[in-house]
Structure 1
Amino acid sequence: MAVPDRVPPVSLLADAALFLDFDGTLVDLAETPEAITVPPGLRPLLRRLSETLDGRVAIVSGRAIADLERHLDCSAIAMSGSHGLELKLRDGTELPLSAPTGLDVARQEVDRFAATAEGLLAEHKPLGVALHFRRAPAEAARAGAFMADLAARTGLIVQKGKMVAELRADGADKGDAVRAFMTEPEFTGARPVFLGDDVTDERAFEVAAEMGGAGILVGPSRPSAARFRLDDVAAVAAWLEAAAGELQR
């Protein structure tokens, strides 16, 4: 993979479908999932982009959809949660959830493990359970080994992210979410553009490229399937504002 270091042109969103990761892309990362601060201009910016792109905007996150809805006004925006396992269309239609076998046991064991060291945090999701160690970086290796062993015993898979490991069902990723949305009438025929910061966004970058679009990496340079890069959350907001202004001319 190449190392993207070009700022995307604002014209990239012309006739595009826009897919946005949440943590680390639209909001800065925090020590815990609930400690994030949503920039005051984010909600109106998302509404403006949705109107300008005729509804071709979707949030694609590792968070559960219910969690996203606590932080955003998503009434007119499609959403995918739990790394592609949850999908909610723009009209509010949701695909049914089916909790994987072994999840209850995994949640209990992750809760117990999180209690063994200060700073570890267990987060229950509709289709998985995450173990955060951002406040306990010294526990990263032990946490990773525990989650790998638990995955093997429960039949779940490990989804690694920035200072977090999640046990979840197999069968979908963020790239699958992009493919699913691109079959919807308002997205069909557009070029997918995906913005994300984490290794969990790489499949979405790949799918966007396969479908004639592009990925935009947010954060420091690293090998990636993305073609372009923006420095941080503030740079994302500035670029989206500029692109929205260009599209409205």
Structure 2
Amino acid sequence: MTLDLDRLQLERCAFFLDVDGTLIDIAASPQEVVIPPDLVQLLHQLQNRTQGALALVSGRSVDDLRQLLPHLDVIIAGEHGAEIWRPGETPQNLGAAPIPHELTEALEKITHDFDGVVLERKPRGRAIHFRAIPTQEYAVRDAVALAVKPFAQRFEVVPGKMVAEVRTIGIDKGQAIAKLMQDPTFKGRLPVFAGDDVTDEAGFLIVRAHGGAVIRVGGAPRADLDRHFETPAELRGWLSRCVTERAPA
């Protein structure tokens, strides 16, 4: 059964929001994204209306997101749930293992074998981006799988939109959301999670288990979604209406 998102009482909700592809449009590379001029103000408004029960749950690292949104002090679950940062504290590792040097070297070799592939070195993981050569998608994914195979006892490859993420087995957005739901700020609230990619599915499952609402941006509408938006702009428009048109309960 889906929930009626237009009747949500924000003061009783906890929002978990993916960033790339959900709040902002995906760009040719993570460094080329454009931040909408009203995004930070919108998130501040949502943070205020939920008494702080707002977290960004992203594939980007905590440091990357803090540089991308320097004037926004909200809780961040970075690297698909590998780390959680609370303002004023140091990031908390949720169990991610250090990436072996040999694995990084094997992934680096892929960037030399395929012109246009970029290796992103995150603090707790690695990502191979191949948006510049979409016709080579399957070849690149196969190469990443082969590079990770010797390390398959601890690390896995998770597919994303024109990216292959390498991370510790057992790390995902769902377990990060579950941990945050135990925080006093979030506990007892109705969770609402918005995402756009395969890496968000674990978060959808946890939110559903808590009786919450799931929102998908892009892709095809599905019966198990509470709401589907075609673009990040549509999601931002809905969030804006939530914080400006609904009177507090």
- Spell out, residue by residue over 1:100-138, the C-alpha distance to the aligned partner (whole angstroms, 9 max, x if none): 255322222212211222221111111111111111012
3-state SS, counterpart of residue 124 of structure 1: strand
Q: Which residue of 1 aligns with 2:132?
A: 135
3-state SS, counterpart of residue 220 of structure 1: coil
CA drift of 1:78 comes to: 0.6
- Distance, in Å, in 1 between the alignment partners of 2:100 and 2:150 is 11
1:48 aligns with 2:45: yes
Q: Check the 8 A contact 1:217/1:224 in 2, yes or no.
A: no
- Distance, in Å, in 1 between the alignment partners of 2:239 and 2:180 is 20
TM-score (norm 1): 0.91
Q: Which residue of 1 aligns with 2:208?
A: 209
Aligned counterparts, 1:91-106, within 5 A? 91-96=88-93, 100=97, 102-106=99-103
- Could you list the runs of 5+ residues in structure 1 that have no partner in the other structure? none
- Distance, in Å, in 1 between the alignment partners of 2:240 and 2:110 is 43
Aligned counterparts, 1:2-151, within 5 A? 8-9=5-6, 11=8, 13-73=10-70, 75-96=72-93, 100=97, 102-151=99-148
Question: Quick one: which amino acid aligns to residue 148 of structure 1?
Answer: A
- Distance, in Å, in 2 between the alignment partners of 1:145 and 1:51 is 45
Greater shift, 220-229 or 28-37, is seen at 220-229
CA drift of 1:11 comes to: 2.6
Check 1:82–1:113 CA distance in 2 against 1; reply closer, same or farther (3 A cut). same
**What RMSD, in angstroms, separates the aligned Cα atoms of the two structures?**
2.2
- Could you list the runs of 5+ residues in structure 2 that have no partner in the other structure? none
Aligned counterparts, 1:197-236, within 5 A? 197-223=196-222, 225-236=224-235
- Spell out, residue by residue over 1:69-88, the C-alpha distance to the aligned partner (whole angstroms, 9 max, x if none): 11113653111011111111
Check 1:102–1:238 CA distance in 2 against 1; reply closer, same or farther (3 A cut). closer
CA drift of 1:94 comes to: 2.7
Q: What count of residue pairs does the alignment treat as equivalent?
A: 246
Q: Check the 8 A contact 2:194/2:215 in 1, yes or no.
A: yes
3-state SS, counterpart of residue 157 of structure 1: strand
- Distance, in Å, in 2 between the alignment partners of 1:97 and 1:174 is 11
Check 1:172–1:117 CA distance in 2 against 1; reply closer, same or farther (3 A cut). closer
- Distance, in Å, in 2 between the alignment partners of 1:68 and 1:244 is 23
Question: Quick one: which amino acid aligns to residue 138 of structure 1?
Answer: T
TM-score (norm 2): 0.91
Greater shift, 213-222 or 123-132, is seen at 213-222
Q: Check the 8 A contact 2:44/2:72 in 1, yes or no.
A: no
**Identical-pair percentage:** 34
Check 1:93–1:123 CA distance in 2 against 1; reply closer, same or farther (3 A cut). closer
3-state SS, counterpart of residue 216 of structure 2: strand
